[in-house]
Amino acid sequence: MQQHYPFTLEPLPYDYGALEPFIDEKTMHIHHDRHLKTYVDNLNAALKDQPEYQSWSLEKLLKSANWLPEELRTPVKNNGGGVYNHEFYFSIMSGARETEPSAELSERLTRDFGGLDGFKSQFKKAALSVFGSGYAWLAVDGDGKLIIKTTANQDTLLTLGLCPIALIDVWEHAYYLKHYNVRADYIDDWFNVLDWNKVSSLFGSCL
């Protein structure tokens, strides 16, 4: 993402109802229009009086978060991370149905997880294991191996030398209106809207 200050609320890349019946329209409205907007607004507020950093991209800010002036560190990690993670999350879902991993990604899923079903079961287990709020990620490591990672709050993988290709938001605001407290059902539904075409294209750009 090439955005820098002032950061803007990018529209969803599809209709709010596009992920129905798996993720409901109302959740998408609140998640995008309120939660993501708040992260964007708070990130801008943090950078308002920091002209030195206003030309920095979001990725640069996040990668350097620990070296920023102290008053910027937490706001950038929380709100910058919130912007980055949500844009990523919204971008790898779509209303396209029954998409499939590319041949190359499919081979890696077999090598590293025993296949698509093996991946889904390990990914679901990881996403369920996030205590409180956070994310589960599928990423490519420095050796080209697919790995599953979890992060807390709005942390990203940007400082870990990993190339992320998918993530699921398991903050309760991502699913509570439809799935209540049953995160497992949300994860099962989410697999239906995960767009493997996009994930495969990201995978290609990680290699």
The least distance separating Mn ion from the CB of residue 34, rounded to whole angstroms, comes to: 10
- Beta carbon nearer to Mn ion, 84 or 203: 84
Q: Which residue is nearest to Mn ion (CB)?
A: 169
What DSSP character marks residue 106? H
- Beta carbon nearer to Mn ion, 90 or 203: 90
- Beta carbon nearer to Mn ion, 32 or 108: 32
Q: Which two tokens stand for residue 131?
A: 């205590």
The least distance separating Mn ion from the CB of residue 147, rounded to whole angstroms, comes to: 22
Count of CB atoms situated within 10 Å of the CB of 141: 15
117: nearest Cα among 203, 201, 188 = 188
Q: How many residues bind Mn ion (CB under 5 A)?
A: 3
Q: Which two tokens stand for residue 182?
A: 């049953």
- Beta carbon nearer to Mn ion, 112 or 169: 169
Which residue, chain included where needed, has tokens 């080209």? 144
The least distance separating Mn ion from the CB of residue 95, rounded to whole angstroms, comes to: 19
Q: Which two tokens stand for residue 144?
A: 């080209």
List residues bridging with 134 in a β-sheet. Answer: 152
* Stretch of 40-48, 132-140, 171-179, 192-200 contacting Mn ion, by CB under 5 A: 171-179
Residues 90-149 that bind Mn ion (CB under 5 A): none
The least distance separating Mn ion from the CB of residue 87, rounded to whole angstroms, comes to: 11
Q: How far apart are CA 103 and CA 111, in angstroms?
A: 12
The least distance separating Mn ion from the CB of residue 116, rounded to whole angstroms, comes to: 25
Near Mn ion by CB under 5 A: residue from 90, 171, 186, 196? 171
Near Mn ion by CB under 5 A: residue from 169, 170, 198, 203? 169
Whether the Cβ atoms of residue 18 and residue 95 lie closer than 8 Å to each other: yes
The least distance separating Mn ion from the CB of residue 27, rounded to whole angstroms, comes to: 10
| Phi and psi angles of residue 169, each rounded to the nearest 5 degrees, phi first | -85, 120
Per DSSP, the three-state class of 21 is coil
Where on the phi/psi map is residue 153: left (φ > 0), alpha (ψ -120 to 50), or beta? left
- Beta carbon nearer to Mn ion, 81 or 101: 81
- Beta carbon nearer to Mn ion, 167 or 174: 174
Q: Which two tokens stand for residue 119?
A: 């991946």
Residues 19-48 that bind Mn ion (CB under 5 A): none
Q: Which two tokens stand for residue 73?
A: 């560190």
Residues that bind Mn ion (CB under 5 A): 169, 171, 174
